[in-house]
């Protein structure tokens, strides 16, 4: 699909009055900020544990990493909303964003976004220049490579977008240990491989909305059958990655493998599912639980290294 295609007329909806705080949180995509803060914290915590440092003595670096990464993610999300304000009215889950309703003017969004990014980068630089460099890489990959370049042009947009989503743990790790090691890259690979099946399941549920917005998501371009095969491949790709974290012990490896087997079973059920939407919803929910359990378990098991 190309950007020259005509975007469908937005669906008429009742105007719902929302609070300024709610609109602000929608602008910065607070859900994405919170989830990425978890992976950033995991990067910080594992770096401390793997290098035998004191957690309490690194509270300042933890602050710089968490607040800095939170700000650059929020700023980047605001820019993404601004970039997508022409297609968001078409989709029911995005039509109420403040950049669509006009609650926030474009100039105000730009000012807020760049302020957040500059302050966030300054905080990351205070931790280490490597953390700031990884932060900048995340900003560029999300705003430029994904939002401005691939999202509306290529079916591989989800994979491109997965790069930025996998960078937060590298930021957290680099704040403590600038020379990121295998543990940091393991976190990156887990996040990178987790995102395609997670977002493909979401895209299946929103296929008609993405089609109306002329966004070439995999289910729109290739259909559900191909999407199910791609989900299966990405889930299989996750299986060996936890073994890059052998320092966390056998218990972690067993848990991670069990989670992967569970996701694989769910993925395989899709090939004989009678209700694709119900199956996609179950895959989406499993992916959320998978990430939460896996990253929390990393923190817990690392304490006993």
- Residue 12: its pLDDT value, please? 42
Of 162, 65, 183, nearest in space to 120 by CA: 65
Indicate the SS3 state at residue 214: coil
Q: What is the 3-state secondary structure (H, E, C) of 38-102?
A: HHHHHHHHHHHHHCCCCCHHHHHHHHHHHHHHHHHHHHHHHHHHHHCCCCHHHCCCCCCCHHHHC
C-alpha–C-alpha distance, residues 256 and 36, integer Å: 20
Task: Check residue 271 and report its DSSP letter.
Answer: G
Model confidence at 10, pLDDT cuts 50, 70, 90, reads very low
pLDDT digits (tens, 9 = 90+) for 247-305: 999 999 999 999 999 999 999 999 999 999 999 999 999 999 999 999 999 999 999 97
C-alpha–C-alpha distance, residues 78 and 24, integer Å: 9
When pLDDT is averaged across residues 190-218 and rounded to a whole number, the result is 97
Model confidence at 186, pLDDT cuts 50, 70, 90, reads very high
Model confidence at 11, pLDDT cuts 50, 70, 90, reads very low
pLDDT digits (tens, 9 = 90+) for 131-142: 999 999 999 999
When pLDDT is averaged across residues 60-87 and rounded to a whole number, the result is 97
Model confidence at 92, pLDDT cuts 50, 70, 90, reads confident
- Residue 4: its pLDDT value, please? 36
- Residue 15: its pLDDT value, please? 46
Task: Check residue 147 and report its DSSP letter.
Answer: I
107's tokens = 């100039």
Q: Residue 46: pLDDT above 50?
A: yes
* pTM given for the model: 0.92
């Amino acid at each position: 699909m190309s950007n020259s295609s005509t975007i469908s007329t937005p669906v008429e909806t009742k105007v719902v009055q929302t609070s300024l705080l709610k609109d602000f949180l929608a602008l910065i995509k607070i859900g994405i900020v919170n989830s990425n803060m978890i992976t950033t914290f995991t990067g910080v915590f594992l770096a401390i544990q793997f290098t035998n440092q004191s957690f309490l003595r690194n509270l300042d670096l933890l602050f710089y990493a968490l607040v800095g990464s939170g700000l650059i993610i929020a700023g980047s999300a605001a820019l993404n909303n601004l970039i997508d304000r022409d297609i968001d009215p078409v989709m029911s889950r995005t039509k109420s964003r403040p950049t669509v309703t006009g609650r926030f003017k474009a100039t105000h969004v730009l000012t807020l976004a760049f302020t957040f990014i500059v302050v966030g980068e300054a905080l990351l630089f205070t931790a280490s220049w490597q953390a700031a460099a990884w932060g900048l890489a995340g900003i560029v990959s999300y705003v430029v490579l994904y939002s401005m370049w691939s999202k509306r042009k290529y079916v591989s947009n989800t994979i491109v977008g997965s790069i930025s989503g996998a960078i937060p743990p590298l930021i957290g790790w680099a704040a403590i240990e600038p020379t990121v090691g295998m543990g940091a890259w393991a976190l990156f690979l887990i996040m990178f491989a987790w995102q395609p099946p997670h977002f493909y399941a979401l895209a299946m549920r929103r296929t008609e909305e993405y089609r109306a917005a002329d966004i070439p998501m995999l289910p729109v371009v290739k259909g559900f059958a191909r999407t199910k095969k791609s989900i299966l491949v990405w889930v299989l790709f996750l299986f060996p990655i936890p073994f890059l974290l052998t320092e966390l012990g056998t218990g972690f490896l067993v848990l991670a493998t069990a989670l992967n087997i569970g996701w694989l079973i769910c993925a395989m059920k899709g090939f004989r599912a009678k209700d694709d939407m119900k199956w996609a919803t179950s895959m989406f929910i499993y992916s959320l639980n998978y990430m939460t359990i896996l990253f929390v378990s990393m923190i817990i098991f690392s304490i006993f290294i």
